[in-house]
Amino acid sequence: MKDKTVSNSQIQMMELVQPNDANNLGNMLGGKVMHLIDIAAAMSGLRHCRKPVVTASVDSLDFRYPIKLGNMIILRASVNYTHNTSMEIGVRVESENPLTGERFHTSSAYLTFVALDENGKPTEIPKVIPESETEKRRYEAAVKRRELRMKARSELNSENVN
């Protein structure tokens, strides 16, 4: 299995926010944004390992700025870190006013995906190779986030035993 660079997993999606995507205030529904984040991350993971992938977890998601009806939503995703069968994928979401070109960073999320074999069982994936300084910084931050997730999971499991 050949290791892959971060650029092998990079994707970009864009959609125009339609009335059916918005709430009564004219802002894109948070659930729709979450749905698109999951799709973007899944496509990035699929590009990285060329195997079916499933969402294992989503770290916190904060909505920093609303995405208005008639604006474009832009999602960019790439693999930040890989373990044996899992990978952390970062997704950045922006809103663009199509008339002015003005863009706002609306949210970011880190998702963990697991690759599956033909029997639906977790399977080994290629390691990711960060090349740029930004990719290396994201990789190191992902290692720390994974350690925190593993610690939290361990603490939660020990609470459930008692």
Express each pLDDT in 38-97 by its tens digit: 999 999 999 999 999 999 999 988 899 999 999 999 999 999 999 999 999 999 999 999
Map tokens 């070109």 to a residue.
101
Kindly report the backbone phi and psi dihedral angles of residue 4, in degrees, each rounded to the nearest multiple of 5, phi listed first. -130, 155
State the Cα–Cα distance between residues 75 and 40, nearest whole angstrom.
7
The alpha carbon torsion through 111, 116, 121, 122 (nearest 10 deg) reads -50
Would you say residue 23 has pLDDT above 70? yes
Q: How many domains does the chain have?
A: 1
Which residue range forms the structural domain that includes residue 14?
Answer: 4-161
- pTM here? 0.92
Kindly report the backbone phi and psi dihedral angles of residue 67, in degrees, each rounded to the nearest multiple of 5, phi listed first. -105, 115
What are the beta bridge partners of residue 16? 72
